[in-house]
Structures are given as structure tokens and as C-alpha cells.
């Protein structure tokens, strides 16, 4: 409404002022809002916390008291994290395992499911719903389900199957630190595969069917056609899938936190950040330093992604 009035007022001005008149007060307010709101949102929710975390990572602030109680301690937090904080290296390692499991098992399995369902086999919708179900559930619920299935004395697996080492032995799926991560990753992949399946399925549906027909006429087998025709044609979706896989593995948190607060074999960087910052511990500086490490780790795939999408586009334009 305001814009209409302003436009009319602008229209009545002498021609020499037309350029300014086009940006009437209403327009300027609209522009200011359109630039200002995203700026405030991005600045307040992305840049401010990021920069604050980086700054705080060089302090030993305990979160109590105002800015005056913050003391600079240089790189001490980073040195301590790398040298005397036992959960740090395992956590980093576990994040990489998580990425590996999703990339090698979860994502390919999701793609396979999407490809099979796209064939319109009987009961497609049912399969689709079944595989998509875990994506609808909150990750914390996946953690609870994992606990119910894996618990050593009450869990489904140990009650259904006899231990291979004979009676009297119990496999500790949740408490054995060299086993529990892999047990949990099965559930993480289960959820992830459904997610990827839906993404990929959407892409496959949009794919021009003549491509595949042409490949079939040329005598390409199923696998050959997928590898040389379908997969390259799906490039935009492939990039999204790759990014989603990396993001999922870096922000993994809920499942392990529900199972045992992310301790004893289930350490992840996200958990260490939470433990130090949110809990009663309140080592804000220390936790921020771990968060910065996670940020640096995340920047690698983000840079690759940005370079891949925008870099290639510029190339094509040139």
C-alpha cells in the first residue's frame, strides 16, 4: 500500500529527478528491509556467533559474569585439547569414521534404493514409506530404538540370538568402546539411506526417460547405463547428496547422546563441544576452541562445494 502511494507521489515529480524518484521513500524502505533483515539474520545468527566463538576460544571464560570476567590466555586451549584432552583425537577420528560409513554404506545404499524404487516395481509406495520412515523420526528417537535393540541384557539382539562364544557370554553392543561406534553407525546409515533415497528419487523422476531408452537401444547393461548415462546426468543431485552426507556426518550428535552421552567409544566433536559448554562444566573458552576445530574441519568440504558449483559455472560462462 505504502509503495503504491509513494509511486504516485514520485510520478508527479519533475523529469530531472526521475532517477531519484524511481527510488521513492517506499522503495527505499522496501530495499532497506530486504537487505537489512537478511543482513541482521545472517549477521546475528551466523557471523556474530562464529566470530564470538573464535574470540572466546582464546579465553578461559567460565560463562559466569560479564565481559570483564573474560581473560585472554592465547592458544592454551588449543594446546591442551591437542595434548592432554584424551577424548579429542578419538572424537575427531569418530567423526571421520562417521563420514566414511555414510559415504561408503549409507549414501550408496540410498541411491540403490532410489534406483530400484524408480523401476516402479510392485508396492513401490510401501517400500518408499518404509525406507523413509526413519527420516521422519527425530534422531533422538533413532537413538532410543538403537538402545532398545542393542542393550546387552534387555536388548532385542542379545535376547534373540545366542552369543557365538556360547552361553554365559554377553556381547556389549553399547558399552564396548571398540564395538559400539559400529553398532550405532548401522542405525545412522539406516536413517541416512532413507534421506538420500528421497533426494535421489526426486532427481531420477525428473530425468529425461529418453536418455535411458537411448542407452538401452545402444545395448548398455543396467550397471553400465547407470554409470555412464544416469549418474553423470544427475550431477546437480549428486553434489547435493555429497554435501548432505558431509553435513550429516559433522553434525551427528543425537543418537550417541541419547545412548550414553557420547562417552566411552562414542565421542564426537559435537558432543565434546556440548559437554564443555552446555553442561554444568561451563568451560566456554575450552568448548569454543573445539567448536573452532569443527569449523575448520567443516570449511574443507564447504570450500570444495562452493568451488565446484560456482567455479564450474564461471568456467562455463567464460
Partner 1 sequence: MQEERPLFDPDALGSQTMTRRAALAAGVGGLTALGLGAARARGAVPTALVQQFAGTVTLGSNYSDPVPKKAVANMLAKFTKQSGTSVKVNTVDHNTFQEQINSYLQGRPDDVFTWFAGYRMQFFAQKGLAGEIDDVWQTLKPQFSTALQNASKGLDGHFYFVPIYNYPWAVFYRKSVFKQHGYKVPKTWDQFLALAKQMKSDGLIPIAFTDKDGWPAMGTFDQINMRTNGYDFHINLMHGKEGWDTPQVKQVFAHWRELLPYYSQAPLGLTWQEGALQLLNKQAGMFLLGSFVGQQFTKPADHADLDFFAFPEINPKYGQDAVEAPIDGFMMARKPKNRDGAVALLKFIGSPTAENTYLATDPNDVGTNKHASTAHYSVLQRKAAQYIAGAKQISQYMDRDTRPDFASTVMIPSLQKFLNDPTGVNGLVKSIQKQKKAIFGT
169 in contact with partner 1 (CB under 8 A): yes
| 106, three cell numbers | 549409507
Q: What is the DSSP letter of 15?
A: G
| Alpha carbon distance 89, 314 (integer Å) | 39
> What's the closest the beta carbon of residue 180 comes to partner 1, in angstroms?
8
Rounded Cα distance, 130 and 124, in Å:
10
Phi/psi at 155 (nearest 5 deg)?
A: -75, 165
85 near partner 1, judged by CB under 8 A: yes
Footprint of partner 1 on residues 14-73 (CB under 8 A)?
62-65
Size of the site for partner 1 (CB under 8 A): 38
> What is the three-state SS of 92-108?
HHHHHHHHHHHHHHHHH
Q: Per-residue x/- marks for partner 1, 273-312, CB under 8 A?
A: --xx-xxxxxx-----------------------------
Minimum CB–partner distance for residue 234 and partner 1 (Å) = 42
Rounded least distance, CB 216 to partner 1, Å: 52
Contact 116, 204 (CB under 8 A): no
> Contact with partner 1 (CB under 8 A): which of 86, 167, 209, 219?
86
Of the candidate spans 38-46, 132-140, 192-200, 261-269, the one that interacts with partner 1 by CB under 8 A turns out to be 261-269
Does 261 contact partner 1 by CB under 8 A? yes
The residue (of 154 and 303) whose beta carbon lies closer to partner 1 is 154
Stretch that binds partner 1, among 48-56, 76-84, 128-136, 244-252 (CB under 8 A): 76-84
Nearer to partner 1, 61 or 131 (CB): 61
Among the listed residues 53, 59, 95, 151, the single contact to partner 1 using CB under 8 A? 151
For residue 194, how far is the Cα from the chain centroid? 14
Q: Which of 144, 164, 168 minimizes the C-alpha distance to 155?
A: 144
State which of residues 21, 53, 70, 87 lies at the interface with partner 1 (CB under 8 A): 87
**Which of 131, 173, 226, 253 forms a contact with partner 1 (CB under 8 A)?**
173
Applying CB under 8 A, which part among 8-16, 84-92, 125-133, 230-238 lies near partner 1? Answer: 84-92
Helix boundaries (H) for the chain: 2-11, 18-22, 25-42, 48-56, 76-83, 88-101, 107-118, 124-136, 139-150, 156-160, 180-206, 209-217, 222-225, 231-233, 235-250, 254-260, 269-277, 284-306, 312-317
The answer to the question of residue 152 lying near partner 1 (CB under 8 A) is yes
Cβ closest to partner 1, residue 175 vs residue 301: 175
Only one residue has cell 507521489, namely 9
Pairwise CA distance, residues 273 & 56, whole Å: 13
Residue 151 grid coordinates: 542393550
**What residues make contact with partner 1 under the rule CB under 8 A?**
62-65, 80, 83-87, 150-154, 169-177, 180, 260-261, 263-264, 267, 275-276, 278-283
Amino acid at each position: 500500500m505504502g509503495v503504491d502511494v509513494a509511486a504516485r507521489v514520485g510520478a508527479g515529480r519533475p523529469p530531472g529527478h526521475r532517477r531519484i524518484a524511481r527510488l521513492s521513500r517506499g522503495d527505499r524502505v522496501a530495499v532497506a528491509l530486504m537487505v537489512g533483515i537478511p543482513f541482521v539474520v545472517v549477521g546475528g545468527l551466523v557471523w556474530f556467533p562464529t566470530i564470538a566463538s573464535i574470540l572466546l576460544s582464546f579465553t578461559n571464560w567460565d560463562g559466569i559474569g560479564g565481559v570483564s570476567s573474560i581473560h585472554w590466555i592465547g592458544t592454551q586451549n588449543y594446546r591442551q585439547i591437542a595434548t592432554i584432552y584424551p577424548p579429542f583425537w578419538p572424537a575427531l577420528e569418530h567423526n571421520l569414521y562417521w563420514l566414511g560409513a555414510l559415504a561408503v554404506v549409507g549414501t550408496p545404499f540410498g541411491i540403490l534404493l532410489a534406483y530400484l524404487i524408480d523401476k516402479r516395481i510392485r508396492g513401490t509406495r510401501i517400500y518408499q514409506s518404509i525406507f523413509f520412515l526413519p527420516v521422519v523420526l527425530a534422531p533422538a528417537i533413532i537413538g532410543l530404538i538403537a538402545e532398545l535393540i542393542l542393550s546387552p541384557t534387555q536388548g532385542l539382539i542379545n535376547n534373540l540370538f545366542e552369543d557365538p562364544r556360547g552361553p554365559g557370554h554377553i556381547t556389549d553392543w553399547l558399552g564396548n568402546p571398540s564395538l559400539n561406534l559400529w553398532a550405532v553407525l548401522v542405525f545412522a546409515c539406516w536413517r541416512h539411506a532413507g534421506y538420500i533415497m528421497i533426494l535421489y528419487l526426486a532427481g531420477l523422476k525428473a530425468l529425461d526417460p529418453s536418455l535411458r531408452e537411448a542407452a538401452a537401444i545402444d545395448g548398455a547393461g543396467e550397471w553400465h547405463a547407470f554409470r555412464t548415462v544416469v549418474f553423470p546426468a544427475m550431477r546437480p543431485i549428486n553434489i547435493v547428496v555429497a554435501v548432505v552426507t558431509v553435513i550429516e556426518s559433522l553434525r551427528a550428535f543425537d543418537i550417541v547422546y541419547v545412548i550414553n552421552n557420547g562417552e566411552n567409544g562414542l565421542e564426537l566433536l559435537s558432543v565434546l563441544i556440548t559437554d564443555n559448554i552446555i553442561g554444568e562444566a561451563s568451560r566456554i573458552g575450552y568448548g569454543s576452541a573445539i567448536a573452532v576445530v569443527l569449523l575448520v574441519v567443516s570449511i574443507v568440504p564447504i570450500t570444495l562445494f562452493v568451488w565446484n558449483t560456482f567455479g564450474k559455472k564461471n568456467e562455463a560462462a567464460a
